[in-house]
Amino acid sequence: MADLLLGKPVGDALSEDTKAQVERLRARGVQPTLAIIRMGERPDDLSYERGACKRAESLGIAVRKFLLSEDAPQAALMEAIAQVNADDSIHGCLMFRPLPKGIDETAACNALSPAKDVDGITVGSLAGVFMGTGVGFPPCTAQACVEILGHYGIDVEGKDVAVVGRSLVIGKPVAMLLLAKNATVTLCHSRSADLPAVCRAADVVVYATGRPRAYSLEHFATGQVVLDVGINVDEEGNLCGDVDFDAAEPVVAAITPVPRGVGSVTTAVLMRHVAQAAAAQS
Ligand code: NAP
């Protein structure tokens, strides 16, 4: 039976520090504030937004929403970003992606003020992650994976880590963050040859592909640590990860469940970044 790497204790520990920082800021008259920019009403965006708002409220962080319809033009989105940039009372911004078809996502991401980029979406923040300079904030989900490993005392130095998925939101940045911790990282994707063999050979595997329960017994090995970043809805409408949990759990040493795993840490990381951004700007 695998150890469950639950997200709640990790998120709670992070939030304790964030709460103390927020209290210090509020005592000096600074109200840490997060802007949320959302286009349309995708269920996964709404679900993440609810979690983020709840977490923000519990920490004393204010949230301001900039909501646009799914078919709003690029100019309306750029105007919302400009408002966020110009408003000194807003310290960080979460913009839901993927943006609707027809929107230039790269232009939108790079229009955000680097100082308010608390989710690592601008070129400057990503450069910080890839160059290891510590400039800017890393994408929250990628950082959440690092926090989970740290919280549970899983040291990746010298270990073989496979990351499945190469998006700029998760796969690539988490590979860089773990490389910076001296792991030997293999970054896998949809064209990787013999993915099961690569996964089986790794000490730690991060799955981030958005494929419901796609990774089964042939991918797992005894003693492995598995981080399942996927948040998917199965055919019965239930939330599930990328990993076939029931197949993995008897084999591997430790695994994050879905729900109750990586997702809950992501919002805690986001709030820590907002508090840090507020401190840096005030
Ligand atoms: P994405 O942009 O769609 O990227 C998916 C990646 O998976 C791509 O690199 C793709 O490879 C790879 N992939 C697809 N099929 C594959 C296969 N058969 N074998 C190996 N790799 C394959 O997705 P994303 O934004 O990174 O999100 C991934 C998952 O994480 C989703 O379920 C999303 O909901 C979840 N998520 C969770 C959190 C959280 O807080 N836990 C936050 C954000 C997202 P190619 O590059 O070759 O196409």
Ligand 1 atom nearest 267 alpha carbon: 40
Regarding the beta carbon of 94 and ligand 1, being less than 6 Å apart is answered no
pLDDT at 164: 98
| Residue among 96, 189, 205, 243 to mutate when testing ligand 1 (max atoms within 8 A of CB) | 189
Regarding the beta carbon of 195 and ligand 1, being less than 6 Å apart is answered yes
Q: How far apart are CA 108 and CA 254, in angstroms?
A: 38
> Which parts are annotated binding residues for NADP(+)?
165-167, 231
Distance, C-alpha 27 to centroid of its chain: 29
| For residues 214-230, average pLDDT | 98
> Which parts are annotated binding residues?
165-167, 231
Contacts of 65 (CB under 8 A, 6+ apart): 35, 36, 38
Q: How far apart are CA 115 and CA 112, in angstroms?
A: 8
What 3-state class would DSSP assign to 68?
Answer: strand
Residue 214 CA to ligand 1 center (angstroms) comes to 12
Regarding the beta carbon of 171 and ligand 1, being less than 6 Å apart is answered yes
pLDDT at 4: 98
Residue 172 CA to ligand 1 center (angstroms) comes to 11
Q: What is the pTM of this model?
A: 0.97
pLDDT at 116: 97
Measuring from atom 48 of ligand 1, which residue has the nearest CA? 190
Give tens-digit pLDDT for 51-109.
999 999 999 999 999 999 999 999 999 999 999 999 999 999 999 999 999 999 999 99
Measuring from atom 42 of ligand 1, which residue has the nearest CA? 141
Sign of CA dihedral 271, 272, 276, 277: negative
Measuring from atom 40 of ligand 1, which residue has the nearest CA? 263
Task: Identify whether the C-beta of residue 231 lies closer than 8 Å to the C-beta of residue 263.
Answer: yes
Max distance between CA atoms of the chain, in angstroms, equals 56
Give tens-digit pLDDT for 131-172.
999 899 999 999 999 999 999 999 999 999 999 999 999 999
Q: Would you call 50 exposed, middle or buried from its count of C-beta atoms within 10 A (0-12, 13-18, 19+)?
A: exposed
Residue 217 CA to ligand 1 center (angstroms) comes to 20
> How confident is residue 277, by pLDDT bands cut at 50, 70 and 90?
very high
Q: Is the pLDDT of residue 43 over 90?
A: no
The beta strands (E) that lie in 8-131 are given as 33-39, 62-68, 92-95
Average pLDDT, the chain: 97
Q: How far apart are CA 253 and CA 56, in angstroms?
A: 33
Contacts of 39 (CB under 8 A, 6+ apart): 68, 69, 70, 72, 77, 96, 99, 100, 103
The full set of domains in the chain, from first to last, is: 29-113 (3.40.50.10860), 140-263 (3.40.50.720)
DSSP-assigned letters across all residues of 198-209: HHHH-SEEEE-S
> How confident is residue 119, by pLDDT bands cut at 50, 70 and 90?
very high
Q: Is the pLDDT of residue 227 over 90?
A: yes
Residue 166 CA to ligand 1 center (angstroms) comes to 7
Percent of the chain with pLDDT over 90: 96
Least confident of 64-73, 103-112, 214-223, 233-242: 233-242
| Residue among 190, 211, 244, 273 to mutate when testing ligand 1 (max atoms within 8 A of CB) | 190
pLDDT at 111: 97
Residue 262 CA to ligand 1 center (angstroms) comes to 14
